[in-house]
Amino acid sequence: MKIAFIGLGNMGAPMARNLIRAGNQLHLFDLNQQVLSELAELGGRVSKSPKHAVEGVELVITMLPAAAHVRSVYLNEDGVLAGISAGVPVVDCSTIDPKTIRDVAAAAAKQGVVVSDAPVSGGTGGAQAGTLTFMVGASPEHLSVLKPILAQMGRNIVHCGEVGTGQIAKICNNMLLGISMVGVAETMALGNSLGIDMEILANIINTSTGRCWSSEVCNPWPGIVETAPASRGYSGGFGADLMLKDLGLATEAARVSHQPVILGAVAQQMYQAMSLRGDGGKDFSAIIEGYLKSK
């Protein structure tokens, strides 16, 4: 299949590589020339603009940092909508707010183009291994067009509803994750200061009602889970700045819909403070450092 792939960063580049390996012909666009040259060596065609990239393709995929990039890549003079033919399906995999993708979809609909959203979870490891989870906001008809291609980059393809609902699923899940990590960090720090063996405390939590992903898989206390970022100096994993971005999307979406998200807003401010201290590149479980005495 001839596919335009725009946005070839930490996630987009390995996703595009998997599509090339699966035998697709890719039209590539990014602002970073180095990644374009690397992917061209694998057989991709480098394009001059999003408009140029989408000419003559059968599908368009975008994987961009944030809403402003998505708006410009789609709506600018040399953007996707300036070059695309009616009827070509489009899917944006970036994590952005639901309103932006719905606005872009409405603009595209005027020229007979259907835009869906399919944000991912699974991180850069999942992108490389082709095991991402896609949360798809699309009509059932459009989903069946996208599914075989998404399956070349991921393992789970979950239909969430119409366009925008993929983003809703993603930001709701990540808000809960951000909150639950703060809860586990606070709890582990309390146990430590009261003098219980930390492994015993973690085992109790993980076999009791406090159990969650943040306690069981990504416990913020070093040494509890060997494979967790906490056991390697909080490197790798899911950066606090990315969590901060997702909590910003959740609280902004909540503001627009007049829905209180009290704990989400508190968690957002905690990751904001972490980022200000210069720790935004650490795994988000390092939020526990704010609860511990400095050494």
Positions annotated as catalytic residues are: 170
Does residue 9 interact with ligand NAD by CB under 6 A?
Answer: yes
Cα separations in angstroms, 210 against 144, 205, 238, 244: 39, 5, 22, 24
Is residue 39 a contact partner of residue 12, using CB atoms and an 8 Å limit? no
Residue 95 or 215 having the CB closest to ligand NAD: 95
Q: Are strands 132-137 and 120-121 parallel, antiparallel or unpaired?
A: antiparallel
The answer to whether 8 contacts ligand NAD (rule: CB under 6 A) is yes
- Total residues at interface with ligand NAD (CB under 6 A): 25
| Interacting residue with ligand NAD among 3, 4, 6, 185 (CB under 6 A) | 6
Q: How far is the CB of 180 from ligand NAD (least distance, A)?
A: 18
Which part of the chain contacts ligand NAD (CB under 6 A), choosing from 29-37, 189-197, 265-273, 277-285? 29-37
Cα(49)–Cα(47) distance, rounded to whole angstroms?
6
Footprint of ligand NAD on 217-246 (CB under 6 A):
242, 245
Our finding on whether 37 is near ligand NAD (CB under 6 A) is no
For ligand NAD, which is the closer residue by CB, 168 or 205?
A: 168
The answer to whether 32 touches 21, Cβ cutoff 8 Å, is no
User: What type of residue sits at position 142?
Assistant: H
Binding segment for ligand NAD (CB under 6 A), chosen from 16-24, 116-124, 154-162, 278-286, is 116-124
Interface segment toward ligand NAD; rule CB under 6 A; list 9-17, 151-159, 185-193, 201-209: 9-17
Stretch that binds ligand NAD, among 8-16, 179-187, 195-203, 276-284 (CB under 6 A): 8-16
**Distance set, CA 293 to CA 9, 150, 190, 280, 289 (Å):** 37, 46, 12, 20, 8
Phi/psi of residue 136, nearest 5 degrees:
-100, 125
216, containing H or E segment:
helix 213-216
Q: How far is CA 131 from the centre of its chain?
A: 14
94 interacts with ligand NAD by CB under 6 A: yes
| Of positions 98, 123, 191, 229, contacts ligand NAD by CB under 6 A | 123
Selected range binding ligand NAD among 2-10, 39-47, 263-271, 275-283, rule: CB under 6 A: 2-10
Q: Which of 83, 152, 81 is nearest to 110 (CA)?
A: 81
Residue nearest to ligand NAD (CB): 9
Q: Is 36 in the site for ligand NAD (CB under 6 A)?
A: no
29 binds ligand NAD (CB under 6 A): yes
- 44 scored as a contact of ligand NAD (CB under 6 A): no
Minimum CB distance to ligand NAD smaller for 178 or for 191: 178
Q: Which of 3, 4, 11, 182: binder of ligand NAD (CB under 6 A)? A: 11
In a 3-state reduction of DSSP, which class is residue 61?
strand
| Helix residue ranges per DSSP H, the chain | 12-21, 33-41, 50-54, 67-75, 80-83, 98-109, 123-129, 140-150, 165-194, 198-206, 213-216, 240-256, 262-274
* CB atoms closer than 10 angstroms to residue 148: 11
Instruction: Return residues touching ligand NAD (CB under 6 A).
Output: 6-12, 29-32, 63-65, 69, 72-73, 94-95, 120-121, 123-124, 242, 245
